[in-house]
């Protein structure tokens, strides 16, 4: 699985918002752009699915901007990837609706490998929250 720039940027933007989650004032798109190095136009495109999914709220007007809709510990990296990529599955055949259409599903010897790997990846990504990243509590297992 190769993550898109939109997903990587969405994670960075959510982290920026999470770092301001204690403040009562929303973060402007301009501020997000300055901090992240992402253009205002691209930020607006990235925020649309995040708002639709309920991870971000926005306020219009002179004192408007964007805020994290939930506490940083309530949002996982798995959530972000599912929203931005449409899922975490490594192959199309891991999706149940696609698997039913595939004529090889019943006799495919490799599908179980892709399913196990997808599930392991999902478990790991679901175990990491925005709060974990902010607090620096994530390390590589081999370090």
CATH of 5-68, picked from 3.90.950.20, 3.40.50.740, 1.10.10.10, 3.30.950.10, is 1.10.10.10
User: pLDDT band at 78, cuts 50/70/90?
Assistant: very high
Give the residue-averaged pLDDT of 65-81. 95
What is the maximum alpha-carbon separation in the chain? 60
Given this model, what pLDDT does residue 138 score?
A: 82
Tell me which residue of 93, 68, 92 sits closest to 80, measured CA to CA: 68
Q: Which helix (H) or strand (E) element contains residue 38?
A: none
Q: Return left, alpha or beta for 28; rule: phi > 0 is left, psi -120 to 50 is alpha, else beta.
A: beta
Tokens of 84: 């931005």
The residues spanned by each domain of the chain are 5-68, 75-129
Given this model, what pLDDT does residue 39 score?
A: 95
Q: Rounded CA gap, 29 and 100, in Å?
A: 43
* Interval 80-122: pLDDT, tens: 999 999 989 877 777 666 656 677 767 778 888 888 999 999 9
Q: Rounded CA gap, 68 and 66, in Å?
A: 7
Position of tokens 């997000």? 32
* Interval 4-49: pLDDT, tens: 999 999 999 999 999 987 777 899 999 999 999 999 999 999 999 9
> 3-class DSSP state for residue 12?
helix
Q: Would you say residue 142 has pLDDT above 60?
A: no
* Phi, psi for residue 76 in degrees, rounded to 5: -100, 165
More confident residue, 114 or 132: 132
Give the residue-averaged pLDDT of 68-85. 96
Q: Which helix (H) or strand (E) element contains residue 59?
A: strand 56-59
């Amino acid at each position: 699985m190769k993550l898109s720039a939109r997903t990587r940027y969405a994670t960075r933007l959510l982290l920026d918002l999470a770092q301001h989650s204690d403040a009562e004032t929303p973060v402007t798109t301009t501020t997000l752009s300055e901090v992240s190095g992402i253009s205002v136009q691209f930020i607006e495109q990235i925020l649309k699915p995040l708002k639709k999914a309920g991870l971000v709220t926005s306020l219009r007007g002179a004192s408007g901007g964007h805020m994290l809709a939930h506490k940083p510990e309530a949002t996982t990296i798995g959530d972000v990837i599912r929203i931005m990529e449409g899922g975490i599955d490594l192959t199309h055949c891991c999706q149940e609706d696609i698997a039913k259409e595939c004529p090889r599903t019943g006799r495919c010897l490799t599908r179980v490998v892709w399913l196990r790997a997808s599930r392991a990846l999902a478990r790991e990504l679901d175990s990491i929250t925005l709060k974990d990243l902010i607090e620096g509590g994530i390390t590589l297992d081999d370090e």
